[in-house]
Amino acid sequence: MRPEGSSEKPGLVANVETATQLSREKSAALSSTGNYDFPNKNSGNKKVARLKFDDNSLISLLCGEHDKHLAHMEKALGVSIVPRGNFLSLSGPADAVATARSGLQALYDRLSRGLPVDSQEVEAVLRLGPPEKASGSAVDENLVIRTRKRHISPRSKNQAAYLQALRDGGLVFALGPAGTGKTYLAVAAAVSRLMKGEIDHVVLSRPAVEAGEQLGFLPGDLREKVDPYLRPLYDALHDMMPRNQVVKRMADGDIEVAPLAFMRGRTLSNAFVILDEAQNTTSVQMKMFLTRLGENANMVVTGDLSQVDLPHGTRSGLRDATEILDGTEGISIVHFDDGDVVRHPLVTQIVRAYDAFEKKTEAGREYMKTPSPGPDSAPRGKSKRKQT
């Protein structure tokens, strides 16, 4: 019974005791598990979570310089991430917090395995999900490629299948849109095997020009003529190895970068051979290249059949090869799609927009079927002007 004249409201003491007990339970949960979700009173779709990491030395790498990785996640997901010692406090929409939490845990696990985390890895986790979610299973350590400068792991299910095919050897075709890692992963696998001494040399090739390998009009010697067309392969090499090592290996003949036309008549043994931009080969060129495969050699052919630059009416050798050789034992064909794009996020949107446009209007094919308007034809949507 309350004393007379007391201003205390009924049930106030009980409410305070209940709130105190709840606070103690939350604190105990935080100290024991490192994770606890707090529902936001203003919205049932809001929550707060706290992550605890054991290795303080990895926290700074996880956050990035000036917390740039956290800022990237905050902007992309619309959440707040506050570092406090070896804890990270997350708050925001429930789905976004769950995505941020799984992404941060995946990046921390990557650091724990001795693999680097940079802005590209953060972007990949945000767009493709944690590696085990993106690839459909836990990342196989055997699929991680280690070179002098980078450690590379698959970021999607198709990339994991591609790396497994590269590891199995033989002939591998990789088809898909730009930015899916077709060439980059192949070069990484080639450099890794070269550094381990499993092969004697790496051969990188591509059609020297988009349609016909017509190099004579270009100024300079052979190298100056073909270098602009082979530059993407050089870029991938420099991303895997120190520049001085690339120069030395090329001078010693361990790494060779050459136009497709120079493959005729050769037998490539104890080598890792990559043909890039293969959609711009003719059927004759493709057959010539595929028959260069020698003993203890791997061959990888990459291309994007949506970007064929051959003259109108010329069928791509890459399309022919994949149709003819599909199902042949020892030959793997891996198809990538826009979900595997790991470049700038806009690349994914661009690829999807073009795909949607081409499916809707059958661009290109229908355009070529449509005859050019004659002199008496009226512009579409307008009637002819009557002669007076």
C-alpha R_g of the chain: 29
Q: How far apart are CA 115 and CA 106, in angstroms?
A: 11
Predicted pLDDT of residue 209: 53
Give the span between the Cα atoms of 229 and 208, in whole angstroms. Answer: 6
Question: Quick count: other Cβ atoms within 10 Å of Cβ 216?
Answer: 6
**Residue carrying the six token digits 């902007």:** 75
Asked if the model's pLDDT at residue 34 lies above 70, the reply is no
Task: Give whole-number Cα distances, 384 to 55, 371, 379, in Å.
Answer: 78, 18, 8
Distance CA 229, CA 54 (A): 48
| Structure-token pair, residue 6 | 């007391």
pLDDT tens profile 71-128: 989 988 899 999 988 889 999 998 888 888 988 988 888 888 887 888 877 877 776 6
Q: What DSSP letter does each residue of 343-386 carry, written as one string? A: S-HHHHHHHHHHHHHHHHH-TTHHHHHSPPP-TTPPPTT-PPPP
Name the more confident of 123 and 192: 192
The total number of residues written for the chain in this structure: 388
Where do the DSSP E strands lie in the chain?
38-40, 43-52, 80-84, 87-93, 145-146, 151-152, 171-175, 201-206, 255-259, 271-275, 298-303, 331-335
Does residue 342 contact residue 325 with C-beta atoms inside 8 Å? no
Q: Tell me the per-residue pLDDT of 242-280, one tens digit each, with 9 for 90 and over.
A: 889 888 998 999 999 888 888 888 999 999 999 999 999
28 vs 18: CA distance, rounded Å: 15
The arrangement of strands across the sheet holding 171-175 comes to 255-259, 201-206, 271-275, 298-303, 171-175, 331-335
d(CA 254, CA 270): 11
Per-residue pLDDT reduced to its tens digit, 273-329? 999 999 999 999 999 999 999 999 999 999 999 888 888 888 999 999 999 999 999
Cβ pair 336, 161 in contact under 8 A:
no
Q: Which two tokens stand for residue 386?
A: 């009557």
Query: Which range has the worst mean pLDDT, 42-51, 100-109, 212-221?
Result: 212-221
